[in-house]
A and B are shown apart, each in its own frame.
Chain A
Amino acid sequence: MIQSIIKRDGRVVLYDQNKIASAILSALEASKEGDAADAARVANDVQGELENRFATEAPNIEVIQDAVERQLMNHGFNNAAKAYILYRANRTRAREGNTALMRTIDEITKIDARVSDIKRDNANIDGNTAMGTMLQIGAAGAKSYNEMYLLRPEHAKAYREGDIHIHDFDFYSLTTTCCQIDIIKLFQGGFSTGHGYLREPNSIQSYAALAAIAIQSNQNDQHGGQSIPNFDYGMALGVAKTYRKAYIRRMKEALEDILELEDQMDAVNALVKTAEEETGEKACLESTETFDEAVANMLVGKYPMLNLSQTRRIVATTKKRAWQKADRDTKQAMEGFVHNLNTMHSRAGAQTPFSSINYGTDTSPEGRMVIRNVLMALEAGLGHGETCIFPIHIFKVKEGVNYNEADPNYDLFRYSCKVSAKRLFPNYTFLDSPFNLQYYVPGRPETEVATMGCRTRVMGNTYDPSREISYSRGNLSFTSINLPRLALESKGDEAVFYEKLQYMLELVAQQLLDRFEIQASKHIYNYPFLMGQGVWLDSDRLGLQDEVREVLKHGTLSIGFIGLAETLTSLYGKHHGQAEEIQKKGLEIIGFMRKFCDDKSQALKMNFSLLATPAEGLSGRFIRMDQKRYGKVEGITDREYYTNSFHIPVWYGISVYDKIRLEAPYHALCNAGHISYVELDGDTAHNVEAFEAVVRCMHDHGIGYGSINHPVDRDPVCGYVGIIGDVCPRCGRREGEVIPQERMEEMKKMYPEMPAFQGIE
């Protein structure tokens, strides 16, 4: 007689035959093979079998379930047996999933981020804060659910085993990656953040404040980085408004002072307006002589006690003061903007918005004022001289605009080099590279390529070839292929490698389409800012209840890759930095992947593009799995990371020139985004001539997007920014050491700009 059974967790509970009968009944009903009476008969036989085998001890759950399967089949209920086996397998998968999930959450909850690698997967999220932890727990739960319920089994397997990496997998069922926010369009007539309505801004300060709010609002509708493609063109409109207001105010004050009159605001307002109507010009930073003369003459007409030479002087002084006011306000606005983006919270406070701003090509006086001042704010750093982490600054380089000495914005390009040599930003995007130039139309800034997040680029548009622009578009999702594994599995056989690559490309394309299906069936109301405010291209043509399917097709589905260098080493014994013939092989592989994307785009009239993946969490994930499979293979799996996308390995000695020359052709192929880095030592980086020479080298070789790395250290105690070895060159202390009070006083005299150090208590 069976008295008790042992549960999975080891607890002993009373045996209950009814429970067995009811599980059997569920299986019989699911397969439409029997009723309660049948279930009772099978349950009786299960009990009989158990009694024969277990005289004294208690059976465990697994043994009982095996007996149920056997007895269902003995009774000829084959379909019910299958249903029962499937039910058991699903329960097991769910139980194991839950256990893994609970273990992950346990680690997130209890372990310090400095010790736990999973909590540092994304360096932009502070895994030690309450909201950061909440975000990570949510992400872990979502990933577990998505894998179990949303992925096809073959995709789940490829993802779990590290053949592919589905980026932002926690957001699989929720939203898309990123978007270039056209702030000019957004600000026209004002906008709603989703939490409140904001009027159209009227000064550079409010333009800059709203630009930060736009980034923050959009950050909550998408999971990737947010970007403004036209920062200079957009902010210039704010400068113009600030200038015009200052012009009227300064003129009014001048007249009131000279003529000892009461409030002349209305009179001056009307006068300026008339002058604008008559000349067809605006009171703007660089107004023409015609406009200035018109104003001077009208002033004589309105105030007969003044003569023309006096009114001309008033106009000149007014212009000068208004310019100064606009410049001062722009400076403060840019400082505020940069401070805002480094301190404002988003996504429940877990991180600062991952933001980018693109500028450099607006040659209007207002645009130039914006560019100069935002670079100054970047150069100055934050309150205690800290280097700004956000936004990512991207300077757009273009011949005829800012590249050559005679170009109108060449001075700003030069200045940007000086700033980048100190602060690591701006990065540079090159509009003259053939794959960018093909879209460029002078006078239409939306055709200038712009970058967002780590490197994302969106330009071509197979879905709608009449809209090949960067504004209001972005990436929908991306998945990366573990290239070195394909090479390792091919054991040096090139033909096998290409077969495997083709299979993997098809698998990823299908997975991206499955994800698109989920994204496309969302509605405008799911994205109150991105779609509700018309930020995304053509979303303003849809109603709140409409599906986003069609407009989403302006976005890109991107296939990424990691570790070209290790792949080549595995297949051919060397990487592309070591031999020209291997470079050729590298370009063939990446060219093959690009062609797959182009063909897929044409076949489906959607935008598939190839991404040089920004490997952050991924660089370690793939190689750890591959080390378990293949051991430490020299030159392939013997480090802690795979090399980023198509890069020459970071540890390989190579000249600046060769690195740029070898990586540039991959920029042309990776149309979803790319970046090349050059590592300079501190002395070279601080030599602006040398720094500019590197940027020019990138331009001339057809790099799409590049940046120059060099050490930027800071001693928070004395405020020194530069290269610090073991000893701070300014105050002479080592890490953790105390500065004597008298030394501090001395230094304060020598470096008056030195911030007062606030200790951390």
Chain B
Amino acid sequence: MTIKTNSEKLGEGVGFERIRRITGYLVGTMDKWNDAKRAEERDRVKHGMKNEA
């Protein structure tokens, strides 16, 4: 890796990293996830703190 000298292009083509837990461990970029796990990650819903019981 070398430092980009053309600072006018800082960030060009660079995406965000999205770190998620795959199954107990973390994976830095979701590019490495298999198709099923990607679908599962997409479907995850947040759990509310309020007790509905």
Interface residues of A (CB under 8 A from B): 113-114, 117, 120-121, 123-124, 126, 225, 354, 386-387, 389-390, 392, 424-425, 427, 453-455, 614-617, 619-621, 623, 639-641, 644, 650-659, 661, 675, 677-681, 684, 690, 693-694, 707, 709, 711-717, 724, 728, 731, 733, 735-741, 744, 756-761
Given contact pairs A675-B24, A738-B8, A758 touches B49 in the complex (Cβ within 8 A): no
**Once bound together, how far apart are the Cα atoms of A113 and B15, in whole Å?**
18
A655, A677, A728, A736: which contacts B52 (Cβ < 8 A)?
A655
Q: Does B47 lie within 8 Å of A714, measured CB to CB?
A: no
CB of B12, distance to nearest CB on chain A (Å): 5
Q: Are A620 and B36 in contact, CB atoms less than 8 angstroms apart?
A: yes
Chain B residues lying within 8 Å of A117, measured Cβ to Cβ, are 34-35
**Distance A549 CA – B35 CA, assembled complex (angstroms):** 39
Which of B14, B36, B44 is the one whose CB lies under 8 Å from A717? Answer: B14
With a CB–CB cut-off of 8 A, which chain B residues contact A724? 16, 18
Inter-chain contact A714/B16, CB cutoff 8 Å: yes
User: Could you list some 25 contacts between A and B, CB below 8 A?
Assistant: A117-B35, A120-B33, A389-B25, A454-B24, A616-B22, A616-B34, A639-B43, A641-B36, A655-B53, A657-B52, A661-B53, A675-B24, A679-B46, A679-B47, A690-B49, A707-B24, A709-B21, A712-B20, A716-B16, A736-B15, A758-B1, A759-B2, A759-B10, A761-B1, A761-B2
A640 touches B10 (CB 8 A): no
Are A677 and B21 CB-contacts (below 8 A) given A123-B33, A760-B1?
yes
Q: How far is the CA of A75 from the CA of B27 in the complex (A)?
A: 66
Contacts of B34 in A (CB 8 A): 117, 120-121, 123, 616-617, 620
Which residue, B15, B17, B50, B52, has most C-beta atoms of chain A within 10 A? B17
Contact across chains for A641 and B39 when beta carbons are under 8 A apart = yes
Pick the residue among B17, B33, B40, B45 that contacts A713 (CB under 8 A). B17
| A652: B residues at CB distance < 8 A | 45
Contacts of A711 in B (CB 8 A): 18, 20
Give every chain A residue within 8 A of B49 (Cβ-Cβ): 655-657, 684, 690, 693-694
User: For the complex, what is the distance from the CA of A561 to the CA of B31, rounded to whole Å?
Assistant: 27
| Contacts A650-B45, A735-B16, A738-B10 given; does A657 touch B51 at CB 8 Å | yes
Cβ–Cβ contact B24 & A455, under 8 A? yes
7 tightest A-B contacts by CB? A620-B36, A759-B4, A454-B24, A640-B39, A717-B11, A641-B36, A123-B32
**In the bound complex, what is the Cα–Cα distance between A174 and B37 (angstroms)?**
28
Q: Do B16 and A454 touch (CB < 8 A)? A: no
Which B residues lie within 8 Å of A455 (CB)? 24
How long is the Cα–Cα vector from A717 to B14 in the complex, in angstroms?
Answer: 8
C-alpha gap A619/B18 in the complex (Å): 21
Does B36 lie within 8 Å of A716, measured CB to CB?
no
- Main SS class of interface, B: loop
A residues less than 8 Å from B12 (CB atoms): 736-738
Contacts of A675 in B (CB 8 A): 24
A761 pairs with B4, CB closer than 8 A: yes
Q: A387-B26, A617-B34 are in contact. Are A655 and B51 (CB under 8 A)?
A: yes
* Smallest beta-carbon distance B11→chain A, Å: 4
- Determine the chain A residues whose CB is within 8 A of the CB of B11 once the complex forms: 717, 731, 733, 736-739, 757
Nearest residue, chain B, Cβ from A455: B24
Give every chain A residue within 8 A of B19 (Cβ-Cβ).
Answer: 387, 389, 424, 712-714
Q: Are A744 and B25 in contact (CB under 8 A)?
A: no
Q: Which residue of B33, B40, B44 has the most chain A CB atoms within 10 A of its CB atom?
A: B40
Q: Is B43 a contact partner of A650 (Cβ separation < 8 A)?
A: yes
B18–A713 contact, CB under 8 A?
A: yes
Given A387-B28, A677-B21, A717-B11, 7 other A-B residues pairs in contact with their CB atoms under 8 A: A114-B31, A655-B51, A658-B53, A659-B47, A711-B18, A713-B18, A735-B14
Instruction: Report whether A657 and B23 are in contact in the complex, using a CB–CB cutoff of 8 Å.
Output: no
Q: In the bound complex, do residue A392 and residue B24 qualify as a contact, i.e. CB atoms below 8 Å apart? A: yes
Chain B hits for A684, CB < 8 A: 49
Q: How far in angstroms is the closest Cβ of chain A from B19?
A: 5
Complex Cα gap A538–B48 (Å): 48
Known contacts A123-B33, A657-B51, A714-B19; is-contact A453 B1 (Cβ 8 Å): no
A79 CB to nearest B CB, Å: 49
Residues of the A chain whose Cβ atoms lie less than 8 Å from the Cβ of B8: 738, 740-741
Query: Which B residues are CB-close (under 8 A) to A657?
Result: 49, 51-53
Q: How far is the CA of A81 from the CA of B35 in the complex (A)?
A: 48
Closest to A756 in B: B3
Q: Which of A123, A453, A659 has the most CB of B within 10 A?
A: A123
Residue of A nearest to B3 (CB): A758
A690 contacts across to B, CB distance below 8 A: 49
Instruction: Select from chain A the residue with minimum beta-carbon distance to B25.
Output: A392
What is the CA–CA distance of A621 and B12 in the complex, to the nearest angstrom?
A: 37
- Residue of B with least CB distance to A622: B36
Known: A392-B24, A761-B2. A655 touches B36 (CB 8 A): no
In the bound complex, do residue A715 and residue B16 qualify as a contact, i.e. CB atoms below 8 Å apart?
Answer: yes
Partner of A454, one of B23, B35, B39: B23
Residues in A neighbouring B32, C-beta threshold 8 A: 113, 120, 123-124, 126
Q: How far is the CA of A731 from the CA of B10 in the complex (A)?
A: 12
**B37 close to A641 (CB less than 8 A):** yes
Which of B3, B23, B35 gathers most chain A CB within 10 Å? B23
Closest A-chain residue to B5, C-beta based?
Answer: A759
Closest to A661 in B: B53
A744 neighbours in B (Cβ, 8 Å): 7, 10
Please determine whether A619 and B10 come into contact, CB atoms closer than 8 angstroms. no
- B37:A616 contact, CB within 8 angstroms: yes
A421 to B47, CA, bound (A): 15
CB-defined contacts of B26 to chain A, threshold 8 Å: 387, 389, 392, 424-425
Task: Write the nearest CB–CB distance from B34 to chain A, whole angstroms.
Answer: 4
Most buried by B among A225, A652, A675, A738: A738
What residues on A are CB-neighbors of B37 within 8 Å? 123, 616, 619-620, 641
Query: Bound complex: CA of A709 vs CA of B39, how far in Å?
Result: 16
- Determine whether the beta carbon of B1 is less than 8 Å from that of A641: no
B residues near A760, Cβ cutoff 8 Å: 1, 4, 14
Asked if B47 and A736 sit within 8 Å, CB to CB, the answer is: no
- Choice from B21, B51, B52 contacting A424 with Cβ under 8 Å: B21
How far does the alpha carbon of A90 sit from the alpha carbon of B7 in the complex, in Å? 64
Kindly state the separation between the CA atoms of A278 and B44 in the bound complex, as whole angstroms: 63
Instruction: Output the residue of A392, A619, A623, A741 with the most chain B CB within 10 A.
Output: A619
Question: What's the Cα separation between A424 and B11 when bound, in Å?
Answer: 26
* Least CB separation from B35: chain A residue: A117
Is the CB–CB distance between B17 and A386 below 8 Å?
yes
Contact B3 A759 (CB under 8 A): yes
Q: How long is the Cα–Cα vector from A717 to B3 in the complex, in angstroms?
A: 12
Contacts of B9 in A (CB 8 A): 738, 759
Name the CB-closest residue of A to B36. Answer: A620
In the complex, what residues of A have CB within 8 A of residue B3's CB? 756, 758-759
Q: Is the CB of B35 within 8 A of A614?
A: no
Pair A678/B47 contact, Cβ less than 8 Å: yes
B16 interface neighbour in A713, A741, A758, Cβ under 8 Å:
A713
**Chain A, residue nearest B51 (CB):** A657
Chain B residues whose C-beta falls within 8 Å of the C-beta of A677 in the assembled complex: 21
Beta-carbon nearest neighbor of B15 in chain A: A735
Task: Write out the residue numbers on chain A whose beta carbons fall within 8 Å of the beta carbon of B50.
Answer: 655
Residues of B within 8 A of A680 (CB): 46-47
